[in-house]
């Protein structure tokens, strides 16, 4: 996969955060950005790493892993193209709180911490602009918590798959064990659900990958307590 700078900026400019920002802010932020390529399973940053800048996902996929400070990070979410993360050190001056890992070959735009600080020194409104990305992240976390509170295990699994549906018909290199972690389900429960979803035509899968075919059906199923 090769990528032009123009295409990368287009993807990020249409993402859930930058699409809400002014053209001036988008231009200034992306001007400081460095396009970076990561190999499958490569760590982008770990919990506890020194303060650093923001990353925008341009292409590919990544896992977001987190846990309380005294626990081992676990997979909680998959990154979405156009989304940004990593603003915590800029807002707090503290080390990283989550781990990012490339799931497959992945392209990201990195804006260094000093560039963000220089932007904020010139325009205090940058603090609010970057803070909005944190609010959007909280919205995603609320959705994850809501999905995990569903009592029907197949609904929890369907919710995880639906959230990964932004990748379209691309095979996601995600094992059934990893799906189980995200849905708080056993491997056997995941296997049973995947067979059912595949028969319905909603997914295609192997033990180490899944392709989402019908995100709307998965959403109706999960929101309807498994009554699709």
Domains parsed from the chain with CATH numbers? 5-146 (2.60.120.10), 152-223 (1.10.10.10)
User: Which pLDDT belongs to residue 167?
Assistant: 61
Distance CA 116, CA 120 (A): 6
Q: What is the dihedral of CA 41, 44, 49, 52, to 10 degrees?
A: 180
pTM (2 decimals)?
0.89
Instruction: Decide if 157 contacts 189 (C-beta within 8 A).
Output: yes
User: Which pLDDT belongs to residue 184?
Assistant: 95
The owner of tokens 């890992």 is: 101
Please report which helix (H) or strand (E) contains residue 107, including its range: strand 106-111
Residue 183, phi-psi category: left (phi > 0), alpha (psi -120 to 50), beta (remainder): alpha
Neighbours of 217 (CB within 10 A): 17
User: Which pLDDT belongs to residue 172?
Assistant: 83
pLDDT digits (tens, 9 = 90+) for 122-151: 999 999 999 999 999 999 999 999 999 999
């Amino acid at each position: 996969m090769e990528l032009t700078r123009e295409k990368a900026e287009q993807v990020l400019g249409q993402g859930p955060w930058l699409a809400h920002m002014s053209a001036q802010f988008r231009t200034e932020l992306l001007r400081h950005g460095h396009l970076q390529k990561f190999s499958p399973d490569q760590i982008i940053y770990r919990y506890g790493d020194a303060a650093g800048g923001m990353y925008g996902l341009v292409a590919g996929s990544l896992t977001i892993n987190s846990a309380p400070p005294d626990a081992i990070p676990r997979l909680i979410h998959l990154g979405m193209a156009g989304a940004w993360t990593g603003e915590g050190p800029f807002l707090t001056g503290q080390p990283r709180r989550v781990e990012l890992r490339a799931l497959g070959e992945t392209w990201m735009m990195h804006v260094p911490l000093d560039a963000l600080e220089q932007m904020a020194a010139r325009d205090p409104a940058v603090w609010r602009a970057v803070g909005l990305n944190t609010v959007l992240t909280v919205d995603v976390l609320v959705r994850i918590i809501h999905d995990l509170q569903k009592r029907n295990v197949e609904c929890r699994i369907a919710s995880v798959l639906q959230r990964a549906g932004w990748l379209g018909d691309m095979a996601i290199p995600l094992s059934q064990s990893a799906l189980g972690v995200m849905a708080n389900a056993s491997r056997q429960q995941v296997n049973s659900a995947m067979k059912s979803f595949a028969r319905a035509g909603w997914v295609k899968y192997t033990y180490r990958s899944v392709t989402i075919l019908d995100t709307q059906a998965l959403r109706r199923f999960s929101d309807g307590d498994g009554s699709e």
